[in-house]
Amino acid sequence: MANGGEPLRMKPRTISGGALNEAALPAGIAVPGPLARSEAPLTEAIRRLRKSTTAVIGAVIVVVLVLVALFADVLAPMSPIVSDQNTTFARPSLDHPLGTDQLGRDMLSRVIHGSRVSLVVGVSSVVLALFVGVPLGLIAGYVGGRIDSVVMRLMDLILAFPVYLLAIIIMIMFTPTAGLLGTIKVVGAIAIVRIPIYARLVRGSVLSIKEKEFIEACRALGARDPMIIRRHVLPNCLAPIIVTTTLGIATAIIVEATLSFLGLGTQPPTPSWGWDLKANISFIQANAWLTLYPGLAIFVTVLGFNLFGDGLRDALDPRLK
Partner 1 sequence: MRVYILKRLIQIVPTVLMITLVVFLMMQSIPGDPVVALLGDAYNQEDAEKIRQAYGLDRPILVQYVIWLEKLVQGDWGASILTGRPVLQDVLVRLPVTLELIALSMAIALVIAIPAGIIGALRQNTWPDYTATSVAMIGVSIPEFFVGVLLLLAFSIGLNGVLPSSGWVYLPGTCPNMVCGVSFWGNMQHVLMPAVALGIGRAAILTRLLRASMLEVIRTEYVTTARAKGLAERPVVLKHALKNALIPTVTVMGLQVGFLIGGAIVVETLFAMPGLGTFGIDAIIARDYQQVQGFALITALAFVIINLLVDLTYTFLDPRIRYA
Binding stretches for partner 1 (CB under 8 A): 54, 156-157, 160-165, 167-170, 172-173, 175, 250, 254, 257-258, 261-264, 274, 277-278, 281, 284-285, 288, 291-292, 295, 298-299, 302-303, 306-307, 310, 320
CB 101 within 8 A of CB 286: no
The widest CA-to-CA distance across the chain, in whole angstroms, is: 78
Nearer to partner 1, 220 or 320 (CB): 320
Nearer to partner 1, 209 or 254 (CB): 254
Q: CA nearest 114: which of 271, 311, 292, 316? A: 271
Nearer to partner 1, 142 or 273 (CB): 273
Number of other CB atoms surrounding residue 227 within 10 Å: 11
Reduce the DSSP state of residue 24 to 3 states and report it.
helix
Closest approach of partner 1 to the CB of residue 177, in Å: 11
Nearer to partner 1, 89 or 164 (CB): 164
Closest approach of partner 1 to the CB of residue 292, in Å: 8
Nearer to partner 1, 180 or 300 (CB): 300
Nearer to partner 1, 221 or 281 (CB): 281
Q: CA nearest 172: which of 185, 159, 191, 158? A: 185
- Name residues whose C-beta falls within 8 Å of residue 74's C-beta, 6 or more positions apart in sequence: none
DSSP string, 240-265: HHHHHHHHHHHHHHHHHHHHHHTT-S
Reduce the DSSP state of residue 267 to 3 states and report it.
strand
Nearer to partner 1, 52 or 306 (CB): 306
Closest approach of partner 1 to the CB of residue 261, in Å: 5
Closest approach of partner 1 to the CB of residue 250, in Å: 7
Closest approach of partner 1 to the CB of residue 182, in Å: 15
Closest approach of partner 1 to the CB of residue 265, in Å: 12
Closest approach of partner 1 to the CB of residue 30, in Å: 13
DSSP string, 97-166: TT-B-TT--BHHHHHHHHHHHHHHHHHHHHHHHHHHHHHHHHHHHHH-HHHHHHHHHHHHHHHTS-HHHH
The number of CA neighbours under 13 Å toward the Cβ of 18 is: 14
